Every structure is written in C-alpha cells, then in structure tokens.
C-alpha cells in the first residue's frame, strides 16, 4: 500500500506536522497587574497597606513557579513594593515609564519574553488593550487583584485571560 495515497496516513502526517510546528513556535506570557492595595494617606506616593502586602505575597505565590525573568514596575513605592514581592534569584526588577504606554507595549512585544508588569488602575487596562488589540474595561480605584494574562506566539497575540486574585482572608471586610 502506498502511504501517499492513503487519506488516513495523509491526515495523520498533516496533524503531526501542524502539532510539531505549534510545539516549535516560541510562546511567552505577559501578566499585567495593578499594584496591591495602597495605604490610606494623603501623600502622592503611598506605600502598600498591610492588606496590600498580603495581596502582593498572594500574587507572588500564584506566579512563583512560572519563568518570568523580567518584572516591570513604575517608579512609585506601591508598584515597586508589589513587584519586589515577586523577586526570586532568576528575576529582575526593571522600571518603566507609564507616560508612553504605546512605546512600552512595542518594547514588550519585540522582547518576546515572559514578564510581569505592575502598573496602576488607569494604565494596566490600557496596556492590556494595546497588547491584545481588544477593548478592555477601565478599572476602578477600588479594584485590586485583577490579572490580565496575555499569551503570545511567534505569530503574535493568541489569548487574553482576565483573572481575579482572591482577597486574603484577613483583609476581607466583615
């Protein structure tokens, strides 16, 4: 029997070829998060609240087993503290300028490397929209724990998931 004339063999070979191409394609993920809860203060650059510190630890626990060599953050204390909770020996903190998100989005896409970006309620959804090409609902000032997981391949954007980090039990309002 000639395997080139057998439709089952042809279909199996085609499926194997497509699967091997998918495995060979380089994939990476970007996790976009807003900083954890900030301390109630009148200062422009507050630190994290006690609950915010617990939220940052919960985020670190969630992402601890993923290869995320870069952790980007803005120059504010609350984003730096959130990002610092994610640090491990193979991860590096890298500041970014949130005033030019389009340029930063291009930088992330060109790097083709998995990373976490810690931003703000007004910049995180904007960055998710720029990277995914999808409309993203704005975040309120009271929303914490929203995680945008964007998955990419060599061919470009693949998938957007919006996750919600559970609020630490000791922070829940009774």
CATH of the domain at 31: 3.40.50.1240
Report how far residue 28's alpha carbon sits from residue 30's, in angstroms, rounded to the nearest whole number.
7
Residue 83 belongs to a domain: yes
Choose among 98, 96, 72: nearest CA to 84: 72
Residue 53 belongs to a domain: yes
Q: For residue 173, what pLDDT is reported?
A: 66
How many domains is the chain partitioned into structurally?
1
Residue 10 belongs to a domain: no
- Give 50 or 154, the one with higher predicted confidence: 50
E-strand spans in 47-111?
70-73, 92-95
- Give 128 or 174, the one with higher predicted confidence: 128
Grade residue 14 by pLDDT with cuts at 50, 70 and 90: very low
What pLDDT digit, counting tens, does each position of 87-120 carry?
A: 999 999 999 999 999 999 999 999 999 999 999 9
Report how far residue 29's alpha carbon sits from residue 67's, in angstroms, rounded to the nearest whole number.
9
Residue 18 belongs to a domain: no
Residue 163 belongs to a domain: yes
Long-range CB contacts for residues 137-143, cutoff 8 Å, separation at least 24: 139/34, 143/34
Q: For residue 97, what pLDDT is reported?
A: 95
Residue 3 belongs to a domain: no
Report how far residue 15's alpha carbon sits from residue 29's, in angstroms, rounded to the nearest whole number.
25
């Amino acid at each position: 029997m000639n395997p080139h004339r057998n439709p089952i063999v042809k279909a199996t070979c085609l499926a194997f070829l497509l699967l091997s191409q998918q495995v060979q394609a380089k994939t990476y993920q970007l996790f976009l998060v807003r900083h954890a809860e900030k301390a109630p203060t009148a200062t422009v650059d507050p630190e994290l609240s006690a609950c915010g510190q617990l939220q940052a630890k919960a985020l670190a626990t969630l992402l601890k087993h993923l290869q995320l060599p870069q952790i980007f953050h803005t120059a504010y204390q609350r984003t730096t503290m959130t990002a610092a909770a994610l640090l491990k020996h193979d991860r590096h903190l890298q500041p970014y300028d949130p005033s030019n998100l389009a340029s930063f989005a291009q930088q992330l896409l060109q790097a083709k490397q998995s990373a976490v970006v810690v931003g703000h309620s007004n910049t995180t959804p904007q960055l998710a929209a720029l990277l995914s090409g999808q409309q993203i609902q704005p975040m309120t000032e009271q929303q914490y724990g929203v995680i945008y997981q964007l998955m990419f391949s060599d061919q470009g954007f693949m998938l957007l998931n919006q996750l919600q980090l559970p609020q630490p039990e000791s922070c829940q309002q009774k």
